[in-house]
A and B are shown apart, each in its own frame.
Chain A
């Protein structure tokens, strides 16, 4: 699948959606009902009906900058190729032993290694062999309907009508809170999907880089 055809498909979908697609407002509450802000949490909807083997439209990038992966959490549709450019002055050795994608990019610096194709859905945890603290989550989803929440974005937009399993993923979420929510998108009807967390948020496993401070709550 060429880069072009992927872009094209995306465009078509966008057009199709523009007419009848709807947005889903995402609400996350704690057990007691108070809203929970989960930055960079991934929300994706897996349709019951719509085939998911559509080609990815983009190429994703996870850079290594300041001895960290950037972004920390990212989401791609299956079959997306990801490049790992090194913006540091040191070499990196990016690897993953995740079942969804096990690979390694042995020591490299300026020379950009070729893109890595993620052809299985699932979570890929990225690390750097020479910088133990470097960690990144790459969620490979088998759906084009996904987004990453942020302060200004609490919506999954452009979802065609239909029944979906709506997933919420974040490293801090408890395993039991990863259960999808069944939603039905109806044209013209605004929809709010609420993830009620039954468990407390985990403290994310994010080892500290030497000389750098991370505040888990920022993620």
Chain B
């Protein structure tokens, strides 16, 4: 059996041991006391029985003597003798009656010397048996016999009658009846029975016991007869059977018995008192045991508590116990150990949170320290910068001068950084990066500037003068976030930005952070949005102006995806397209857009609205390879001619894998799909590449168009690009037209298509249809391909 855990504690063990010991002792005490008391009771009853038996004997003898004397007196009474001498039975009877009345005998009789009855008086007739007759003939002394009569059991006292020679016997018989037994019982308090055991079964002659049919009495009789002369315990009684004194037949027996029950019940009530006493004692002892156990285990509990504290890293609990010297010693030793462990842990913690070369925080330590610092800030309005500093050329130095000198240099750098301000928390991130937590306080001053300045001068190392450089990225608390690790990451992103832009430092701009959490969430939701048709396509018309503005008509639209987010509302493509590109979700998006655009084109065709639809394709779409399949499937599904679809590709998309991209574009061209170079003029605009692209349209980036009217150089670029496009056999489209002047100028430059807010902003399909009907609906439509 397994004890519940709580009972395995020392306290419980001590307590339970005490308790069990006590229980055992009490049990033994009780048992012994009970046994002793029980034996004592038994012994008492036994001695009572024996005493009663002796008492009975002596009572019997003395009453015998008394009766014998009485009967003797009668035998010698002159008038009695005279009556006997008269030899007249009637006279003798009457004198017998008279004398029996005097001594309260139940029966009186007169016999001759041989025991033959001569005269009788009394309520019963007593016949003398052979045994009595023999005794009477043998002796002329007065004698006592126990005799049966027709209606009872009698003590017959006989005295010889002498005139003066013996002539006969006068006998007085006294009933030995229930009353006699009762008198003896009153004397001894013992149940008294007179038995005749000469028969097959013992016959009770007189008794104080209730004789019932119930077998207990007869079994008692049988049992005592078997064990005559000894005390037996039968049926809840102790009983002793002895022959009656003076009985001429050994079958007359006296049975003394004492039922145990009444005595036991008295004994039991005493016993209950004793038990109550013992229980009270037990409770007291248990209480004492409890306190003793507690006094021993309390210090141990304290120790346990303290050890538990140590386990959770709290080394400040000092134990002071008042108890035995062992426990005292233990607690002192424990305190000592605790101090040492605390020291060792400090060291380990320091090592875990600090860089071994520079002695500055490592990243983990830094984050913890900043986190702690920010916790203070969270209640106030304090601000702070997280700066990530990249030391330039450090790796080169290391490779050139070796690691040990590199480490020395690193040390020197960190020392100098530390000198800037005590309020700055510095960290060596590894390789050539440092991080700093700069509170925006007066003391901290322009710490960033100071840090960057450190690198404007060469470092002196073993006589070598080494010029390093540095760039920094900065993230601001609480502006950019309130988590240390996020801020550090933002600062790193800003650093990347700075590196890209070759700026000395950059402040984090969430717009540029493709990794922002918001975007990540959007990405997830975008996937759902595509599936659930939360996206919709807006269409911006392209006005065909190559034949002059007069009569110019829109012949194409560019499909632009719009996302009306259920929570955030309108989400710009700038926000989710780059994320979709990075996550690969763009293919799915593109497929969706292509499908919708083709569907819409079909719908317009059926309505008599003749518009080609252009769809933007990203780099990922070009590399996935399925695009041709998707396009042909969708066209086929909706029953639209390939020529009604235009795919717009940026140059930068082609750059990643030009061969593959060109091959795909070629296949698309063969399919009959229109192809267009988007955002031409920004990014990687390479004429060499343009030459290879199988496109038929060139779209000049809005950057050049928006200020075409005001900026002559822009106008020049646009004009020459249009010429270039035309020379290469492409049609040219200008995007971002925002005023009439620009449109007119483009017309002059022989631009083929114009697109922009001045003409129409991107419109949902229904609005576009309306717009189209308003401006061009009445006129007959002429398709221009």
**In the complex, A120 Cα to B676 Cα: how many Å?**
196
Known contacts A102-B85, A205-B140: does B163 contact A97 (CB below 8 Å)? yes
Are A132 and B164 in contact (CB-based, < 8 A)?
Answer: yes
- B136 to chain A minimum Cβ distance, whole angstroms, is 15
- Sample of 8 A–B contacts (CB below 8 Å): A97-B163, A97-B167, A125-B163, A129-B81, A132-B76, A134-B164, A205-B140, A205-B166
Q: Mark B153-171, 1 if CB is under 8 A from A, else 0.
A: 0000000001111110000
- The CA-CA distance from A135 to B166 in the complex, in Å, is 11
- CB of A125 within 8 A of CB of B165, answer yes
Asked if A56 is an interface residue, CB under 8 A from chain B, the answer is: no
Asked whether A127 is an interface residue with its Cβ less than 8 Å from the other chain, the reply is yes
B78 touches A205 (CB 8 A): no
Interface string of B67-105 (1 = CB under 8 A from A): 000000000101001101100000000000000000000
Tell which of B81, B82, B163, B165 has the most Cβ of chain A within 10 Å: B165
Q: Which residues of B contact A207 (CB under 8 A)?
A: 162, 164
A97 to B164, CA, bound (A): 8
Q: Which of B82, B84, B163 is within 8 Å of A127, CB to CB?
A: B163
Q: What is the bound-complex CA distance between A128 and B76, given in angstroms?
A: 11
Q: Which 5 A-B pairs have the closest CB atoms?
A: A127-B164, A97-B85, A97-B163, A125-B165, A135-B164
- How many angstroms from the CA of A207 to the CA of B141 in the assembled complex? 11
Q: Which residues of A are found within 8 Å of B163, using beta-carbon distances? A: 97, 125, 127
Does A173 count as interface, using CB distance less than 8 angstroms? no
Cα separation A127 to B162 with both chains bound (whole Å): 9
Would you give the 0/1 interface string for A190-219, flagging 1 where the beta carbon is closer than 8 Å to chain B?
A: 000000000000000101000000000000
| Per-position binary interface string of chain A over residues 123-138, scored 1 when its CB falls under 8 Å from any chain B CB and 0 otherwise | 0011111001011000
Query: A106-141 CB contact bits vs B (8 Å, 1 = yes)?
Result: 000000000000000000011111001011000000
Q: Complex Cα distance A36/B82, Å?
A: 38
Residues of chain A within 8 A of B165, CB atoms compared: 125, 127, 135, 205
Count residues of chain B with CB under 8 A from any CB of chain A.
13
Residues of chain A within 8 A of B85, CB atoms compared: 97, 102
Beta-carbon contact of A129 and B162 below 8 Å: no
The residue of chain A having its C-beta at the shortest distance from the C-beta of B84 within the complex is: A97
CA distance A215 to B456 in the complex (A): 170
B166 contacts which chain A residues (CB < 8 A)? Answer: 205
* Residue with the highest number of chain A CB atoms closer than 10 Å, among B84, B163, B166: B163
User: Nearest B residue to A129 by beta-carbon distance?
Assistant: B78
Contacts of B167 in A (CB 8 A): 97
CA distance A135 to B85 in the complex (A): 16
Q: Which residue of chain B is the closest to A96 with respect to CB atoms?
A: B163
B81 CB, nearest partner CB in chain A, Å: 7
Residues of B with C-beta under 8 A to A129: 78, 81
Nearest CB of chain B from residue A18's CB, rounded to whole Å: 39
Which residues of chain B come closer than 8 Å to A126, judged between CB atoms?
Answer: 164
How many residues on the A side are at the interface (Cβ–Cβ under 8 A)? 13
Q: How far is the CB of B99 from chain A (nearest CB, A)?
A: 17
- In chain A, what residue has the closest Cβ to B82? A97
**Given A93-B78, A97-B167, list of 18 further CB < 8 A pairs?**
A97-B84, A97-B85, A97-B163, A125-B163, A125-B164, A125-B165, A126-B164, A127-B163, A127-B165, A129-B78, A129-B81, A132-B76, A132-B164, A134-B164, A135-B164, A135-B165, A205-B166, A207-B162
**What's the nearest-Cβ distance from chain A to residue B14, in Å?**
88
Query: Residue among A97, A125, A128, A135 with the most chain B CB within 10 A?
Result: A97
List A129-171 residues whose CB lies under 8 Å from chain B.
129, 132, 134-135
> Which chain A residues border B78 with CB–CB below 8 Å?
93, 129
- List of B residues within 8 angstroms of A128 by Cβ: 164
Bound Cα distance A127, B166 (Å): 11
CA distance A126 to B140 in the complex (A): 19
Closest residue to A133 on the B side, CB-wise?
A: B164
Using Cβ atoms and an 8 Å threshold, which residues of chain B touch A132? 76, 162, 164
Hey, which chain A residues are within 8 Å of B81, CB to CB? Answer: 97, 129
A residues less than 8 Å from B84 (CB atoms): 97
Closest partner residue, chain B, to A98 (CB atom)? B163
Q: CA A147 – CA B374 in complex, angstroms? A: 166
Determine the distance from Cα of A102 to Cα of B163 in the docked complex, in whole angstroms: 11
Residues in B whose Cβ lies below 8 Å from that of A125: 163-165
Closest to B166 in A: A205
Q: Which chain B residue has the least Cβ–Cβ distance from A205?
A: B165
Q: Give the distance in Å from the alpha carbon of A102 to the alpha carbon of B164 in the complex.
A: 12
| B 246-288 to A, binary, CB cutoff 8 A, 1 in contact else 0 | 0000000000000000000000000000000000000000000
Residue of A nearest to B164 (CB): A127
Per the bound structure, the CA–CA distance linking A109 and B205 in Å amounts to 54
CB neighbors of A among B126-165 (8 A): 140, 162-165
Most buried by B among A93, A126, A129: A129
Q: Which residue from chain A places its CB closest to the CB of B75 in the assembled complex?
A: A132
Closest to A128 in B: B164
Q: How far is the CA of A214 from the CA of B78 in the complex (A)?
A: 26
- Give the distance in Å from the alpha carbon of A128 to the alpha carbon of B165 in the complex: 11
Convert A86-105 into 0s and 1s, putting 1 for each residue whose CB lies closer than 8 angstroms to a CB of B.
Answer: 00000001000100001000
- Bound-state CA distance A29–B84 (Å) is 38
A212 to B23, alpha carbons, bound, how many Å? 79
Smallest beta-carbon distance B559→chain A, Å: 167
**Distance (whole angstroms) from the CB of B390 to the closest CB of chain A:** 155
Minimum CB–CB distance for A165 against chain B, Å: 25
Rounded to whole Å, the gap between the CB of A95 and the closest CB of chain B is 8
Bound-state CA distance A125–B85 (Å) is 12
Nearest CB of B to A5, in Å: 34
In this complex, the member of B78, B166, B167 whose beta carbon has the largest number of chain A beta carbons within 10 angstroms is B78
Q: In chain B, what residue has the closest Cβ to A93?
A: B78
Q: Closest residue of chain A to B76, judged by CB?
A: A132
Least distance between A133 CB and chain B CB atoms (Å): 8
Interface string of B609-632 (1 = CB under 8 A from A): 000000000000000000000000
A127–B82 alpha-carbon span in the complex (Å): 13
Complex CA–CA separation, A135 to B165 (angstroms): 8
Chain B hits for A97, CB < 8 A: 81-82, 84-85, 163, 167
